[in-house]
Amino acid sequence: MAKLTLDEIGRLAGVSRATVSRVVNNYPHIRPEIRERVQKVIAEHGFYPNAVARSLALNATHIIGLFVPNVVRFIFADPYLSALIPEISRACNAHDYTPALFLFHSQDDEQKQFQRILHASMVDGLIVTADRRDKEFMPQLIDRRLPFVLLGRPSKFSDRISYVDSDNRGGAYMATQHLLKLGHRRIAIITNSLNTAADDRTEGYRQALTEAGLTFQPELLAEGDFTELSGFAAMQRLIPHRPDAVFVVSDTMSVGALRALNNAGINVPRDMALVSFDDLPVAATTTPALTTVRQPLGNGALAVATLLDIIKSGDKAPRHIIAPTELIVRASCGAVQSGLT
């Protein structure tokens, strides 16, 4: 099958290239008879317009980039990304956009390509995952006037950029309150102060404590880094301080924490209540299953919708979307008895 062009189809249908273009793009003001003739030729020969040429003419590629500055070493272990990517793909499909991946594993990788992505106009917009190093990218991104949406709360410039974030603070508040309602008073937390999302969760935890008339106890806070191992270690450090409950800001770390408790012969939820965050698939399969905070709407899909809105409307006014959370009560908090699989 020779490569077909508008001209070629036009020749076959006895009309001009412009007319074929109109038919393909469903423009009005075409005689039905001509339209049909052209459509027949197209159907017969299987014409598909060349996406690149179209992009050049329209100055728009219908490609959006997913830019992840700092891919964790063992990405396999990053359930956030694994969930995000298909979600974004799906949202793009629904809107006839194509997602392109820009995952960077090293700063070298990244520096080399960031400028190109920014200026080569091969993407119509960018979804950027938040990162400690926001500050480096944001100014350039803002400057370049390339539409983009940040996934997560920016550490800076929040009033000048669009972002989609979960209600981390609210979710953590809910989680902590749940433990308080169950009668716990020495509530520990395993968090990760290097991460803004985790930080917001700590904030919600503190707020709930304060409102309950309790004071925050520094020795009941342990740091992790979102890995299971770090959750394990953090829990081990907390055990000597005898908390009666623990709020772990991510399911991954909860898995490690459970293991530490198990090793120490501490039964969850009998001896220690645990509430987690994220509701990853693993949360339902641990023993006991995790009571955890879920965000029902996919942030990835929201980000895509927001980005496309910016692109299509041309209105760059920053949009701030905070996705709500809900508490999924399972066994680990002790509010229910059974340890279902």
Partner DNA sequence: AGCGCCTTTGAGAGCGCTCTCAAAACAAAA
Partner DNA sequence: TTTTGTTTTGAGAGCGCTCTCAAAGGCGCT
**Where on the chain is the footprint of a copy of itself (CB under 8 A)?**
1, 46, 48-53, 55-56, 61, 63, 71, 74-77, 79, 81-83, 85-86, 89-90, 92-93, 98-105, 109, 113, 115-116, 118-122, 143, 228, 232, 255, 259, 280-281, 285, 341
- Cβ atoms within 10 Å of 190's Cβ, excluding its own: 30
Number of Cβ atoms within 10 Å of the Cβ of 109: 14
List the structure tokens of 275: 């509430």
Compute CA distances 39 → 4, 22, 24, 54, 192, whole Å.
14, 11, 8, 19, 59
CB of 82 to a copy of itself, least distance (A): 4
Task: Work out whether 25 is an interface residue with DNA (CB under 7 A).
Answer: yes
DSSP secondary structure, 29-47, as one string: ---HHHHHHHHHHHHHHT-
Reduced to 3 DSSP states, what percent helix, strand and coil does the chain have, rounded to the nearest 5? Answer: 45, 15, 35
Residue 81 contacts which entry, DNA, a copy of itself, none (Cβ below 5-8 A, type-dependent): a copy of itself
Query: In angstroms, rounded to a whole number, what is the distance separating the alpha carbons of residues 177 and 82?
Result: 30
Span near DNA by CB under 7 A; candidates 26-34, 172-180, 189-197, 300-308: 26-34
63 scored as a contact of DNA (CB under 7 A): no
Residue 30 contacts which entry, a copy of itself, DNA, none (Cβ below 5-8 A, type-dependent): DNA
The single residue among 36, 40, 58, 135 that binds DNA, judged by CB under 7 A, is 58
Cβ–Cβ under 8 Å, residues 151 and 130: yes
Residue 25 interacts with which of DNA, a copy of itself, none, CB < 5 to 8 Å by class: DNA
Among 1, 3, 145, 265, binds DNA (CB under 7 A): 3
Question: How far out from the chain centre does Cα 207 lie?
Answer: 25
Rounded distance between C-alpha atoms, residue 62 and residue 44, angstroms: 27
CB of 229 to a copy of itself, least distance (A): 8
Residue 317, classed as helix, strand or coil, is coil
Which residue in 16, 111, 140, 262 binds DNA (CB under 7 A)?
16
Output 28 or 46, the one with its CB closest to DNA: 28
Q: Which amino acid is at 237?
A: R
Contacts with DNA by CB under 7 A lie at 3, 5-7, 10, 14-19, 21-22, 24-25, 28-31, 34, 49-50, 53-54, 56-59
